[in-house]
Chains A and B, each alone.
Chain A
């Protein structure tokens, strides 16, 4: 019998647009988010947070708060520290010479950022807890504030943490070839400095945690809005000194996450500690103001870039220097230096260049700690690299498409290494570039642009190629770096007595459609109707240990584990059927939920019958034959730190040269995430990610004043994109399966985010080119920034 690949079977679900069951629940208002769960005797936590960016805490008087109505517990940072096994230190051994100050969940004797939790109040209602918070007296002695990253390492600037010596968190340099020689030989040497503001995730559902400690069984159950249940379980157990196997962590529906919810936060540890102390359920829901002041921030970077270009448009050398502004501490356990590190990795990633030098420095500031947020580092590196490519096109007179055609790595030229030495495979820059050119009808757009300019309408066309690191493996950062964050993932696939299938996932679903995608994969590998398969995720008591969903890894890593586990179950079912039917296993197949004859597809025995016999009527099987009907497989990436993906964006914008207002007219994306399981879900990941990138490019900014006071603590001050400002986004794919797995899927969740800011910056600069020599080199690209480039302010 010739082997038919499961994807090519008539009943394959790979490549089909199935609807999500979670969606059906959401539209009826039946989603179940953490704050929708309120157990009996539940208490509510609120926090008093530091009003200063840096201050010594000299006295805390909680007496009046303790006596206030409904108050059951008041806990200071010092009291909480006593319940902890020790402070967190946010370093990873892979980051050489990284320095980090130990950090307790709440400020102990010193507050280091505006919004750091100082005292927790637990009361019968949240309102009572907040009322009591107003009765707490805290004396502060203000300390010097370091908020400007450019000055953080200047002589005379005090060290925020004197034990570290200075404010430097980490520094790294990577060199290959000889950039100085290449610059000397280049026809053009171009140099520019870029500034990127701080952003934050603004998940619509804020951080929420409900802790329930049972003193009788000494078991702790936590419901929380999390992407990484096992990691949170591990960190909380170790921080609060409770055995990990006594902790159950449940992530029910999660109302947006975007990297925010892969982290651990002090107020959440405090809430859990309160439940352990009181033996009662305690819930904490961050309000929007405290979200802005305590959710991780990201992106704040300055980049100086320099390239060498020949007259024909060939890129010869790149050199860039990154300065990242972290917060007051390095975020535990993933650190606050990944962003700068990732900028080093991916900037100019699509292009050949023999000579490469990059340097990153990360400094501490009296601000909210920064860490991983969707497409870590990519929006910055891609904006810089693609600006420089457009500039190279301008000075050499080569069309922006043509200069990229000339410089991209060839699709048949892999494996190759990026500048920092990390290997890349299975990329498709050339195919994506050509597909985008057709998709956006580049020639027609250029004609329209030229016509409109005659009428005083300034439209710009941008393109921006990218690479994206997805699905990190254990040889990357966390595993090798010593953090207890799983880079493998596991799936258990089980045949239930009625022939239904449970798929228990280490990866999680925050609305991407991971559950549905895994059901499609398992149904295809097994040969059963997809509605016979149900995914279970987000409960550490029910699923195998895994990393959860971060870094675009769910389908690439968890998908392969699911695929292999389902194939194992399939093999066992066929083996068991062959014993019952007294034929060879390879004479049988599974189609549409039935074991059939491999050739004729004649039905022999249903999976319901296999389930019934396998669970109840085992006497029908030969003596000594013990069916398991439950298979777990794990998958890890080997030999590579990431599965790199690639793609390219196009954008068409109009700039009002009098007001600096940018109207984003249309956006196109061609990306290659390898094997696509559910095209609609992949497209929507790309679209949603794109708008998140556009928000950062155009509006979003965590603004601090010179005293380290956060000025953008509401959604009226921190502007996120709404439907009216956003364009339609056309998405297309090139499908180059990764050679690292049988399934062939790569990550898709961040491809939209990474290149969106760069492509819009290029389009804006293309629009204003006829009227100014100035260029936009700063994000967010507010009207003021655009007017500065136009020389009008």
Chain B
């Protein structure tokens, strides 16, 4: 049972990476275990909870349902990269002020999805924001504070 491997070249958070990967390894395990980007979390490994959400070529994908070898040539952005670029600094500040997380395990995935929402630059009411965020499970907050934080940043950006 020798493991089949492949050579993978991609960009993660702006850095060029080449690695030999096991072909069965999924993207989130690759990011966490091989590259040390532990900000992406593993929650359910079957695409429900959204804890492993990362950006692949500009779109949010489930890191658990994407194989690392599918990312040949791709540009991957994790929460660490999103933080470093400052793209969602306003949202992160608002999450902290509003206490829009408790244990924090869902937070990177939640922010990744919220960043996609904010990037649409559209007016959204609370029900629409709730719908948009419904692919990310949070057991701690009951969602209310998360929706508050996203709503206020979306409104502020649209005004700004």
Residue A512 CB within 8 A of the other chain: yes
For residue B48, which residues in chain A have a CB less than 8 angstroms away from its CB?
714-716
The reply to whether B95 and A27 contact each other, CB–CB distance below 8 Å, is yes
The reply to whether A26 and B130 contact each other, CB–CB distance below 8 Å, is no
B105 nearest CB neighbor, chain A only: A255
Q: In the assembly, what is the distance between CA of A25 and CA of B1, in Å?
A: 41
The reply to whether A688 and B140 contact each other, CB–CB distance below 8 Å, is yes
- A16 to chain B minimum Cβ distance, whole angstroms, is 13
For residue B2, which residues in chain A have a CB less than 8 angstroms away from its CB?
69
Interface residues of A in 59-103 (CB under 8 A from B): 68-69
- B16 to chain A minimum Cβ distance, whole angstroms, is 21
Residue B15 CB within 8 A of the other chain: no
The reply to whether A204 and B96 contact each other, CB–CB distance below 8 Å, is no
Residue A729 CB within 8 A of the other chain: yes
The reply to whether A511 and B142 contact each other, CB–CB distance below 8 Å, is no
**Interface readout for A498-519 with B: 1 if CB under 8 Å, 0 if not?**
0000000000001111000000
For residue A19, which residues in chain B have a CB less than 8 angstroms away from its CB?
96-97, 99
Residue A30 CB within 8 A of the other chain: yes
For residue B44, which residues in chain A have a CB less than 8 angstroms away from its CB?
288, 714-715
Residue A282 CB within 8 A of the other chain: no
Q: In the assembly, what is the distance between CA of A203 and CA of B102, in Å?
A: 12
A718 nearest CB neighbor, chain B only: B48
Which of A69, A204, A692 interacts with B106 by CB under 8 Å? A204
Interface residues of B in 14-53 (CB under 8 A from A): 22, 24-25, 32-33, 37-46, 48-49, 51
The reply to whether B101 and A511 contact each other, CB–CB distance below 8 Å, is yes
Interface size class, chain A: 35 or more
For residue A29, which residues in chain B have a CB less than 8 angstroms away from its CB?
37-40, 78-80, 83, 107-108
The reply to whether B39 and A204 contact each other, CB–CB distance below 8 Å, is no
B79 nearest CB neighbor, chain A only: A29
B109 nearest CB neighbor, chain A only: A204
Which of B49, B80, B111, B142 interacts with A726 by CB under 8 Å? B142
Given contacts A131-B1, A726-B143, A728-B144, A33 and B131 within 8 Å (CB-CB): no
The reply to whether A26 and B42 contact each other, CB–CB distance below 8 Å, is no
Residue B153 CB within 8 A of the other chain: no
Which of A511, A680, A725 interacts with B140 by CB under 8 Å? A511
Which of A22, A38, A688, A728 interacts with B104 by CB under 8 Å? A22
Which of A22, A33, A681, A724 interacts with B134 by CB under 8 Å? A724
Residue B147 CB within 8 A of the other chain: yes
Given contacts A204-B51, A512-B102, A684-B99, A691 and B142 within 8 Å (CB-CB): yes
**Interface readout for B122-160 with A: 1 if CB under 8 Å, 0 if not?**
000010011101111111111111110000000000000
The reply to whether A69 and B83 contact each other, CB–CB distance below 8 Å, is no
Interface residues of B in 51-75 (CB under 8 A from A): 51
For residue B32, which residues in chain A have a CB less than 8 angstroms away from its CB?
35-36
B130 nearest CB neighbor, chain A only: A723
Which one of B80, B92, B103, B144 has the highest number of Cβ atoms from chain A below 10 Å of its Cβ?
A: B103
The reply to whether B39 and A28 contact each other, CB–CB distance below 8 Å, is yes
For residue A204, which residues in chain B have a CB less than 8 angstroms away from its CB?
41, 43, 49, 51, 103, 105-106, 137-139
The reply to whether B130 and A31 contact each other, CB–CB distance below 8 Å, is no
For residue B3, which residues in chain A have a CB less than 8 angstroms away from its CB?
127
Interface residues of A in 146-201 (CB under 8 A from B): 201
Q: In the assembly, what is the distance between CA of A290 and CA of B24, in Å?
A: 21
Label chain B's interface by main secondary structure: loop
Residue A687 CB within 8 A of the other chain: yes
The reply to whether B139 and A692 contact each other, CB–CB distance below 8 Å, is yes
Q: In the assembly, what is the distance between CA of A79 and CA of B82, in Å?
A: 48
Residue A24 CB within 8 A of the other chain: yes
Residue A574 CB within 8 A of the other chain: no
For residue B25, which residues in chain A have a CB less than 8 angstroms away from its CB?
127
Residue A20 CB within 8 A of the other chain: yes
The reply to whether B95 and A23 contact each other, CB–CB distance below 8 Å, is yes
The reply to whether B142 and A690 contact each other, CB–CB distance below 8 Å, is yes
Given contacts A26-B104, A28-B79, A36-B38, A716 and B139 within 8 Å (CB-CB): no
A28 nearest CB neighbor, chain B only: B83
Which of B33, B51, B101, B138 interacts with A23 by CB under 8 Å? B101
Q: In the assembly, what is the distance between CA of A329 and CA of B29, in Å?
A: 35
For residue B106, which residues in chain A have a CB less than 8 angstroms away from its CB?
204
- A526 to chain B minimum Cβ distance, whole angstroms, is 24
Q: In the assembly, what is the distance between CA of A99 and CA of B32, in Å?
A: 45
The reply to whether B41 and A33 contact each other, CB–CB distance below 8 Å, is yes
Which of B46, B92, B144 interacts with A27 by CB under 8 Å? B92
For residue A691, which residues in chain B have a CB less than 8 angstroms away from its CB?
141-143
**Interface readout for A709-735 with B: 1 if CB under 8 Å, 0 if not?**
000001110001111111011000000
**Interface readout for A245-263 with B: 1 if CB under 8 Å, 0 if not?**
0000000011111100000
Given contacts A204-B103, A726-B142, A729-B142, A287 and B41 within 8 Å (CB-CB): no
For residue B147, which residues in chain A have a CB less than 8 angstroms away from its CB?
723, 728
The reply to whether A723 and B133 contact each other, CB–CB distance below 8 Å, is yes
A131 nearest CB neighbor, chain B only: B1
Interface residues of A in 269-309 (CB under 8 A from B): 285, 287-288
For residue A689, which residues in chain B have a CB less than 8 angstroms away from its CB?
142
For residue A287, which residues in chain B have a CB less than 8 angstroms away from its CB?
45
Given contacts A28-B92, A29-B78, A69-B2, A23 and B104 within 8 Å (CB-CB): yes
Which of A20, A31, A687 interacts with B105 by CB under 8 Å? A31
**Interface readout for A191-235 with B: 1 if CB under 8 Å, 0 if not?**
000000000011111100000000000000000000000000000
Q: In the assembly, what is the distance between CA of A510 and CA of B41, in Å?
A: 16
- B57 to chain A minimum Cβ distance, whole angstroms, is 20
For residue A684, which residues in chain B have a CB less than 8 angstroms away from its CB?
99, 102, 141-142, 145
Instruction: Give 11 A-B contacts (CB < 8 Å), ordered by A residue.
Output: A22-B104, A27-B107, A205-B103, A258-B139, A288-B46, A511-B101, A511-B103, A681-B99, A722-B137, A724-B131, A728-B147
Report the 7 A-B pairs with minimum CB-CB distance, sorted nearest first: A29-B39, A26-B104, A255-B105, A511-B102, A691-B142, A29-B79, A511-B103
